[in-house]
Structure 1
């Protein structure tokens, strides 16, 4: 039958950059975007992991390329984006997912080293990738940016201030980009995952995960990386053109719960 709606929900043929694509939410996002027909650039410092992500995509007929990139290296970011353009074309979608989880008490020895390293990867790299892709994103008036933050971007836990500050910064960067770039048709939104089963949470014993989920998460479980990726997909659809500056929680109700 004829469609009554007019907005497009297809990302087929669009070029998507996904950072931190070697595992976890980044891999799930790369796979999902490829499933929907996007041409995916899987960026990660882990070359083997990025290649595995791309191998799975190409095995089922998708289009993807693996690009090794250290998010703490400004020049490497610029070179990675140039390679994406050369191999896949101009960037239409940027998913800033790469991050590191590290914290320390504010009075700890070496605290400032932890602070600098975490802010460089979790926040400065997102800004640099946006700048490197910006001309591409603006060119057709429909570019999409999704910055992955965390529930730590709207709350805080003890002994974790470098990470918490970096994620608050991601939320602030996203809102600032939304205000600045909206006039060009570029949208910028943030996703704030809660407890998700990724490499970052892999060392937490299963019993501890279950206890935390029962006590803090109304859904009473940890989330799956694809559950985050599905929200990311929704935000990069052409039809999502009026969602701009949003901060979307994917946390099973963690933040809604008062105690």
Structure 2
């Protein structure tokens, strides 16, 4: 293991949920490249295996539906045994959850799925990982929310509610776990080029970026991953309860 103020994650044991694509994949591969042992978790076993192959011998695949509490309780101990412990948990798994309020039963289904995958799963993953995080000398939790948890887009209430909940959960966990030296922080990506935004035409991406972001472009998954990496370093020992937009200046720009 590394010293208390090290800027290295070499030898650290990490779980990344939703790691088969997008920001989760970028985070898992970055942690692996920096020398961490990484559990790649996602719904798709083949996609998990592909990312693990790319990450190298110390990157291990685990199929996991984070909306299934029983599966979390069963899988996290397996991960801890395979990695030799847990130092880092990145709750990244997410889904698209647009639904108009008057969509009836369809709205209810989207609402429950959004909260299950993007909020309830976060606290379940934390609670399942705690026995091993408590044994770590530099335990780090990063919850991935969204700028939709800091503002709102029309027709997006299930997603907004889930991501706003992640912001609140992060603060609550930071307070509860701070006395144990476990840090809990939240990354809020803005417009990022991922599978969720792949259907948005490039022209629309460019127009939105020029109109809304200070940097006038969409971000890349790797740019979010590097912020997450900075928060899980042993040296990031006095940062907790932080809510960090990674949005190209979207939240800073009025016009």
Give your verdict on TM over 0.5. Answer: yes
| Aligned equivalent of 1:93, options 80, 88, 100 | 88
Question: Does structure 1 residue 102 correspond to structure 2 residue 97?
Answer: yes
| Aligned equivalent of 1:206, options 196, 202, 206 | 202
Cα distance in structure 1, aligned partners of 2:21 and 2:130: 26
| Equivalent position of 1:162 in the other structure | 158
| Equivalent position of 2:12 in the other structure | 14
Cα distance in structure 2, aligned partners of 1:84 and 1:140: 15
- Secondary structure of 1:239 counterpart: coil
Deviation at 1:140, TM superposition (A): 3.2
Cα distance in structure 2, aligned partners of 1:139 and 1:87: 16
Residues 90, 143 of structure 2: 8 Å contact kept: yes
Residues 114, 158 of structure 2: 8 Å contact kept: yes
| Equivalent position of 2:227 in the other structure | 231
Cα distance in structure 2, aligned partners of 1:201 and 1:135: 36
Cα distance in structure 2, aligned partners of 1:140 and 1:133: 11
Cα distance in structure 1, aligned partners of 2:181 and 2:138: 5
Cα distance in structure 2, aligned partners of 1:13 and 1:27: 19
Cα distance in structure 2, aligned partners of 1:145 and 1:241: 12
| Aligned equivalent of 2:218, options 200, 219, 222 | 222
Deviation at 1:142, TM superposition (A): 2.1
Cα distance in structure 2, aligned partners of 1:7 and 1:23: 31
Deviations 1:149-194 (A, max 9, x none): 0000110111100000000000000000000000001000000000
* TM value normalised by structure 1: 0.95
Deviations 1:28-76 (A, max 9, x none): 0000000111000000001121111101011xxx511100001111111
Give the 3 Å change call, closer, same or farther, for CA 104–6 of structure 1 in structure 2.
Answer: closer
Cα distance in structure 1, aligned partners of 2:75 and 2:229: 22
Cα distance in structure 1, aligned partners of 2:202 and 2:84: 43
Q: Number of paired residues?
A: 252
| Equivalent position of 2:22 in the other structure | 24
Structure 1, unmatched stretches of 5+, are: none
Greater CA drift, 71-80 or 173-182: 71-80
| Equivalent position of 2:133 in the other structure | 137
Cα distance in structure 1, aligned partners of 2:137 and 2:180: 5
| Aligned equivalent of 1:178, options 171, 174, 180 | 174
Cα distance in structure 1, aligned partners of 2:187 and 2:65: 22
Deviation at 1:104, TM superposition (A): 1.1
Deviation at 1:141, TM superposition (A): 4.3
Question: Does structure 1 residue 121 correspond to structure 2 residue 111?
Answer: no
- Secondary structure of 2:61 counterpart: strand
Structure 2, unmatched stretches of 5+, are: none
Residues 14, 39 of structure 2: 8 Å contact kept: yes
RMSD (Å), alpha carbons: 1.2
